[in-house]
Amino acid sequence: MHLAARALCLALVPSIAAAQAETRYPATQQAQPRSAAVATPDASRYLVVACPTPAGTPSASLGQPTDSATRALVAALEASAATDASMAHPARHADQDEHGDHDEHAHDALRSADEKGSGEDPDAPFAPQFKIHLFADMKYAAIDTVGSRNGFSLGQFDLFGRSELSDALSVIAEATLTALPRNTFSAHLERLMLTYSPTDLLSASVGRYHTGIGYYNTAYHHGTWFQTATGRPLMYNIDGDIGVIPIHTLGVSATGAVPSGSLGLHYLAEFGSGRAGQASAAGTTQPALNDNNTPSMNGALWIRPDAIDGLQLGVSLYHDRLTFSDTSKARNDETIAAAHIIYKTDVLELMTEGMLMRHDPRGAGTASDSHGYYAQASRRFGSVRPYARMDYLEIPKTDPLFAFLGRRFGPSVGVRYDFQPLAALKLQTSHLNQTTRPNMNRFDAQVSFMF
């Protein structure tokens, strides 16, 4: 029985590559290939918690994890599996196959969940599996601006889950709790998507998701453990920091591969609610209301040529119409064009993106153009990854939403140390020049992890 429980446990612990090794784009919309069918002993619903293996460990070598933290977690899962097996199915063995592909947030792809039970009972009821990943971070920040308070703080608690409902149908859900000043928390349902993926040529989704503007917004979601740096680039700021790009939208999307041989061409089309109606600087997509009859639209194309492994080049174009809470202001057409060049391997990371955002009043006034970019480079040396990033964002005084931000730019330099396969320490120092606020120097020490 102990050997059977061990086999079951190891089958439920798929491998995962290092967080920086590969990023699928767009991670929010692209469904993964269906894995081999799995024999399910009964019709009950299972909760599967996936544990990544250390970077560089082949999925085929999962029989004996080499890292002490991973071995400890596997042992705990084995004990739990043995207890469950002895209570629920004392005389039954479950054979399951490994599947090592990656999914959103660089998770392992889930096994198919529409199987019909064991071979002896092909008519057993359908039993979906729900796989869950949890992420969190905490940090110490020291800032030199007047009125700033240095100290420790909790970051964001992130719950991400996915369930395969059939060969081609899956559900993604992601919710966060973000720590706020004065012992309060902000809860958000970040993503909730139903995705139909019949082939690699089409993956259609409906729900709330991250907009496919540029690269970073769909390559990195809310688990800071996957990011090299402590935070996001200025142009992709989210949550407590003011970001200028609409991070979320609510609607429908379609993505997939375009038959193009070694060019590796992909497409994305989105049709959604856009920014929150009655737009403000902090506006986000409303969950159940659209203030005007003009939806947002976004399209993107990108290539991943076979000739250069790890290279990705892409462009996107977003359009929306904004309605303001100040009724004296005319509605604005919002257009955001973005382009990116990404080169990522397990060792080297080179990323740069640029965007141009135009707000054009309908019928009166002059259009305002904002622009920004970032460039980030890092290289891994064993468990240590030093990195540097340059941010630039310029908003004109005539912009109806973000004029108060002005021009902001500056470098960040840091180092990430993966002291355990599932936990990382990041030390980062930054300087930010600002035209509408005092310049700022800051130091951040962050521990981010998944469990």
User: 145-158: per-residue pLDDT in tens?
Assistant: 877 788 899 989 99
Give the separation between CA 302 and CA 263, rounded to whole angstroms: 10
Which of 194-208, 239-253, 358-372, 416-430 is predicted least confidently?
A: 239-253
Give the separation between CA 28 and CA 172, rounded to whole angstroms: 9
Which of 13-22, 51-60, 62-71, 298-307 is predicted least confidently?
A: 13-22
Average pLDDT over residues 220-238: 92
- Higher model confidence: residue 153 or residue 353? 353
Distinct helix (H) and strand (E) counts, the chain: 3, 18
- Higher model confidence: residue 416 or residue 126? 416
> Which tokens go with 312?
């990705």
Average pLDDT over residues 41-49: 40
Which of 67-71, 108-112, 195-199, 359-363 is predicted least confidently?
A: 108-112
On the question of pLDDT at 374 being above 90, the answer is yes
Give the separation between CA 33 and CA 360, rounded to whole angstroms: 42
Q: Does pTM top 0.75 for this prediction?
A: no
Average pLDDT over residues 325-331: 74
Name the pLDDT band for 122 (thresholds 50, 70, 90): low
On the question of pLDDT at 7 being above 80, the answer is no
User: 13-38: per-residue pLDDT in tens?
Assistant: 333 333 333 333 333 333 333 333 33
Q: What's the pLDDT at 241? A: 65
DSSP 282: T
Helix axes 68-88, 2-11, angle to 10 degrees: 120
Q: What's the pLDDT at 289? A: 58
Name the pLDDT band for 363 (thresholds 50, 70, 90): confident
Q: Which helix (H) or strand (E) holds 74?
A: helix 68-88
Give the separation between CA 438 and CA 33, rounded to whole angstroms: 50
Q: What's the pLDDT at 240? A: 52
Q: What's the pLDDT at 287? A: 59
Q: Which domains does the chain have, with CATH numbers?
A: 2-450 (2.40.160.10)
Name the pLDDT band for 123 (thresholds 50, 70, 90): low
Percent of the chain with pLDDT over 90: 50
Give the separation between CA 87 and CA 89, rounded to whole angstroms: 6
Residue 33, Cβ neighbours under 10 Å: how many? Answer: 11
Which residues 6+ apart lie within 8 Å of 120 measured at CB?
none
User: 163-191: per-residue pLDDT in tens?
Assistant: 999 889 999 999 999 888 877 888 989 99
- Count of alpha carbons within 13 Å of 316, Cβ hemisphere only? 31
Give the separation between CA 40 and CA 114, rounded to whole angstroms: 10
Q: What's the pLDDT at 341? A: 98
On the question of pLDDT at 314 being above 60, the answer is yes
Specify the long-range contacts of residues 184-192, CB closer than 8 Å, at least 24 apart. 186/239, 189/287, 190/158, 190/221, 190/222, 190/248, 191/28, 191/221, 191/248
Residue closest to 251 by CA, chosen among 205, 215, 301, 300? 205
- Higher model confidence: residue 276 or residue 426? 426
- Higher model confidence: residue 311 or residue 248? 311
- Count of alpha carbons within 13 Å of 393, Cβ hemisphere only? 20
